Structure 1
Amino acid sequence: MHAESYELETRLEPRTLRSETLIVLGLSLGASGVSALISFIGSVTRPGALKNQSATLVSSAAPGRPWLDLAWQLFGIASALVPVALVAHLLARERVGMPVMGFDRTQPRRDLLRGTVVAAVIGGIGLAFYLGVRAAGFNLTVVPESLPNVWWKIPVLVLSAVQNAVLEETIVVGYLLRRLGQLGWTPAGALAASAVLRGSYHLYQGLGGFFGNMAMGVVFVLLYRRWGRVGPLVAAHSLIDTVAFVGYALLAGKVGWLPTG
């Protein structure tokens, strides 16, 4: 680290770092975790089994009005990335920027290759886990998308997948681990916090969504510490969500093993 960067970083007091971290999480995935908890409470207190209820991930914002719907979809994707812009600003203020977490274009092929391997392994295991916990009654039926069949459907689904990946991996892994390390957290404590946070904002899907994503969070933190880059994690997450969204759009109602809500 450059001496100038280190000198600036040391002026960030623990109180400032704690407040900053809480604000970033409050504007993004921390708030999503609280929302998911409330949604989960609503689901478990509603009559009927969880598997007979559904959670839709990408749905129409203006049914019957495709151009207005497209505008809302693009607005939602863009506004969801504002916390990432905030993190980029805060890291730039430290004079380290997003490259400090390995979110840059210096290793595109390696990031994509690693991400593809991770996506293939975790995606397959994740699908099997979801089908199992849903059948056991611990999860809602996850409906990845319910968009109308219009020309922009697939592009929006891909953009939504990439948005999810960029938001989650830069904040829950790169940013959070950096800040917790600066605050003196142990590696084990930071790993647990990151994994529990990832699980928390998937709780609206049920206990399967919580524990499955928490396990994924542990793996992603370990990979990040090994590689020193969130790039492969963003690639992996983008591929997992793209396959889930687009695959559902193409297969729903055509194969018997895929629950449709």
Structure 2
Amino acid sequence: MDPIVLQGSDWAFILSNWDQLLLGTAVTILLTISSLLVGFLAGFPAGAAEVYAPGWLRTPVNTAGVILRGTPIVVLIFLFFFLLPIPQLGTFIIIDAKVKAFVVATIALGLRSAAYQAQVFRGAIQSIDEGQMEAARSIGLTKIGAIRHVIFPQAVRRSVPGFQNEFTIVLKDTSIAFAIGLAELLTRSEQLYLQPGHDSAVTEVIITISVIYFVLTFTTNRALDALEDRYAIPEGSA
């Protein structure tokens, strides 16, 4: 359905198309969440492997991380889009986003995020006293069990500051998904001012989406600050 355009200023035009910006924001938020989740699920094991795994496993994990961190995200998105055997699956009804583009963007952003999150978790793990691993092993836990029950909870709590930075990076990088046709916030914003007769609304559109990105970043970082304060490890307990 074509958006209804109000007569008047460019701001009125943007206001009349708020639903398009809302859909774009929803896609951006979902893409950010899914990418960070993939990054977390792959990043923590990778970070733990760089600390505890034998050389035959640590080396390829480290190499994969270096490659992912050194490759521009737009290149990763294009590579996965054209090389992964993902069929065109239509669109998500609620957010009107192409399924294949969303899946590819999630994989590309998620794996790149995993490469960075691995370093965040590696640093958090290495900050934990080695005696805790030894103590966990001495009471009968396996190395994996010790990582799961002793190291993991502390490492996650210590990684919150680094995770804040990674969230901001992933949120902004979702805009790169426009290259494969994903209708996230930047794409839908561009579609607005490209409508005939509304090219003068470029400044207003850019200001609007900048405010949206700022609000998303600010509120999430404040929430993570509160989370860090709530679950911070007391000094001298590690």
Smaller-chain TM-score bracket: under 0.3
More contact order relative to length (CA 8 Å, sep ≥ 6):
1
Greater radius of gyration (CA): 2
